[in-house]
Structure 1
Amino acid sequence: MSARDADRSAAALATLTGDLYMAPDLDTLLEQTLRFVSVALTCDCAAIVLWPGHGVSRWRVAGSDSRATRAGYIRYEHGEGMKTVRSRPVMVGDTAVEVSTELGLHSVMSSVIRARHHDIGVLDVYARERSAFRQADQALAGALATHIAIAISTVTTAETLIRAIDAHTAIGQAVGILMERFDIGSDQALVLLRRHSQDHNVKLRTVAADLVSAQRHSTRSSHRAAQLPG
């Protein structure tokens, strides 16, 4: 890698990481990353594929455009692509026949996204030209994948914490509603919530959120009725 390429990589990473670690959610993080990758690397489009587990709730493909998204599904929906990319941290080669024929993307550079000692996905960079990627591109793609992994771990941990706080708040509010409605203690109110959750096979936080939402709707309706002219 030349000094110019090294400077380019360092500047690119500095720009990206500042934005990534400020991303409010996973969707925003993926969008920002792909927008950046499409400019920083010599490519025509890019995709990030995430596999379920380790903070990621579902299998998903995010592409910089429709071609990249489609290529991601072609490569990974049957699991064969996963086995291939996991064999090396950064792999450069020709695309699968389907991707080359259907989408006109002939080169791919795949970088494994690894967080907390687990492979959670892959960054795929595509080009129409064959043998399009240089050593400098490989180095930058590998470094990007590392920062993406850290950012994903940070965002998914924060999202999990926020959901837990929201659930705890909703349950507390629901307990308060039942205490007032039935003139009972907090323990009895919580028992009622849990019983309803078990009887209807619905998560406790969902039962609580539904009760709070219904109470708010009822309060707003009563307030509007009180303001109607007699």
Structure 2
Amino acid sequence: MADPDASDFAEMALALHDEPDVEATLERIVEYAQHATACDDAGVMLLHGQGKIETAMVTDPRVGKADQFQVELREGPCVRSIESHSSFIVDDLSSDSRWPEWGPRAAELGLHSLLSVRLYTTGGTVGSLNLYANEPKAFDEDDLDVAEIFGRHASIALATAREESGLRQAISARHVVGLAQGILMERYGLDAERAFSLLRRYSRHNNIKLRVVAERIISTGRLPEEP
């Protein structure tokens, strides 16, 4: 397709923000990435706590395999994009001296050129958007400009989706704990504070998450027996 203009990016941004959860947002990101650039396949790698990097979404299993090689070797433009806060164009994966081990492995999968941009917000790095092509020299500076603009929209949408997902999980957990408190209050004649203290103490003593303890109480109607 022709290079997207401002209205195209606006429509993409709106569509990304309308997705209901993180997975749907990721699916739409790689779908739009294929339409916005000359790539044959795309993938998103996400950065988690303590520097853990994982492949979150791909359009083809070989992209996931190529990403796995990068994480194992700690070598490759997608990982490097996250670590160095840079963007990379690789004209020929089989011969680029920057990636002597990873590049030839990726080329064996039929991936011969790549464009990788960092996904980030003001809060920090989110991950990387990685665009692959079956032929060498598939990407140029115009593709890089498009990918970086799209990447900014994708970063904000993804960060928002992750935050909303975390909030939903937190609200759900509080609801479950509240139900368990009510059961303990009725069964053992406790007030709300003592019921919560009992939940927390059982959780700590048995090294079980508070939500898991609460779910067991809801399913059985009483506090699980001490091991």
TM-score range, shorter chain: 0.7 to 0.9
- When residues 20 and 203 of structure 1 are mapped into structure 2, their CA distance, relative to the original with a 3 A threshold, is same
**Once structures 1 and 2 are overlaid, which stretch shifts more, 25-34 or 84-93?**
84-93
Tell me, yes or no, if structure 1 residue 43 matches structure 2 residue 34.
no
The separation in 2 between residues aligned to 1:57 and 1:47, in whole angstroms, is 17
5+ unaligned residues in a row in structure 2: which ranges?
A: 94-102, 222-227
Question: In the alignment, residue 75 of structure 2 is paired with which amino acid?
Answer: E
1:19 aligns with 2:15: yes
- Distance of 1:58 and 1:130 partners within structure 2: 27
1:90 equivalent in structure 2: 87
Paired residue type of 1:202: I
Give the counterpart of 2:214 among 208, 211, 224. Answer: 208
Secondary structure at 2:167's aligned position in 1? Answer: helix
Query: Residue 71 in 1 paired to residue 66 in 2?
Result: yes
In 1, the alpha carbon distance for the partners of 2:126 and 2:49 equals: 7
Matches within 5 A, 1:148-159: 148-159=154-165
Aligned letter for 1:12?
D
3-state secondary structure, aligned to 2:20: coil
Q: Which structure has the larger Rg?
A: 1
TM-score, normalised by the number of residues in structure 1: 0.82
* 8 A Cα contact 2:44 2:58, kept in partner: yes
Q: CA deviation at 1:27?
A: 1.1
Deviates more, 1:26-35 or 1:111-120: 111-120
Alignment of 1:84-123 (within 5 A): 84-85=80-81, 86-87=83-84, 89-93=86-90, 94-95=92-93, 96-101=103-108, 103-123=109-129
Does 2:190 match 1:168?
no
8 Å CA contact 2:55, 2:64 repeated in 1: no
State the 1:156 CA deviation.
Answer: 1.2
Deviation at 1:117, TM superposition (A): 4.7
Cα-to-partner distance string for 1:88-110 (whole Å, 9 max, x where unaligned): 63211132111012x11110001
Change (3 A) 1:119 1:165: same
Name the SS for the 2:208 alignment partner.
Answer: coil
Tell me the residue number matched to 1:139. Answer: 145
Equivalent-residue separation in structure 1 for 2:9 and 2:174 (angstroms): 38
Distance 2:65 2:162 in 1: 25
Which residue is equivalent to 1:225?
none
- AA aligned to 1:90 is S
Paired residues in the alignment total 208
Which residue of structure 2 aligns with residue 31 of structure 1?
A: 27
1:214-225 to 2 correspondence within 5 Å?
214-215=220-221
> 1:196 aligns to what?
202
In structure 2, do the counterparts of structure 1 residues 57 and 129 end up closer, same or farther at CA, with 3 Å as the change threshold? closer
Unmatched 5+ stretches in structure 1:
216-230
Q: Deviations over 1:127-185 (max 9, x none)?
A: 11111113221111001111121112111111111111111111111111111111222
Query: How far is the alpha carbon of 1:191 from its aligned partner?
Result: 2.0
Question: Does structure 2 retain, via aligned residues, the 8 Å contact 1:109–1:126?
Answer: yes
C-alpha separation between the residues in 2 aligned to 1:44 and 1:22? 25
> TM-score normalised to the size of structure 2?
0.82
1:20 maps to a residue whose letter is: L
Q: Corresponding residue for 2:224?
A: none
Q: Matched residues, percent identical?
A: 32
Matched residue type, 2:174: H
How much has 1:36 moved relative to structure 2? 1.6
Native 8 Å contact 2:55 2:67 kept in 1: no
Alignment deviations for residues 10-57 of structure 1 (CA, whole Å, 9 cap, x no partner): 243223211211222211111111112122211110111112139x98
